[in-house]
């Protein structure tokens, strides 16, 4: 396995993990935001 291929592979994995965490954090914020919004509306 060439070094450049390994580098690309690890970069892709790091990006995938980063995106995964970003999506989870956004989902949590949206969930809390919606519940707070509904509490205010009531």
Residue 38's domain comprises: 1-42
pLDDT digits (tens, 9 = 90+) for 1-14: 689 999 999 999 99
Does 17 have pLDDT greater than 90? yes
DSSP, collapsed to helix, strand or coil, labels residue 1 as coil
pLDDT band at 32 (very low <50, low <70, confident <90, very high): very high
What percent of the chain has a predicted confidence (pLDDT) above 90?
90
Residue with tokens 């892709």: 12
Distance CA 30, CA 25 (A): 9
What is the model's pTM? Answer: 0.60
Distance CA 5, CA 13 (A): 12
Number of domains in the chain: 1
Distances (CA, A) of 26 to 9, 12, 34: 26, 21, 12
Average pLDDT of span 21-42: 95
Which pLDDT does position 9 carry in this prediction? 96
């Amino acid at each position: 396995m060439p070094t450049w291929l390994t580098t690309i592979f690890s970069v892709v994995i790091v990006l995938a993990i980063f995106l995964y965490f970003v999506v989870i954090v956004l989902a949590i914020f949206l969930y809390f935001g919606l519940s707070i919004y509904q509490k205010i509306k009531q």
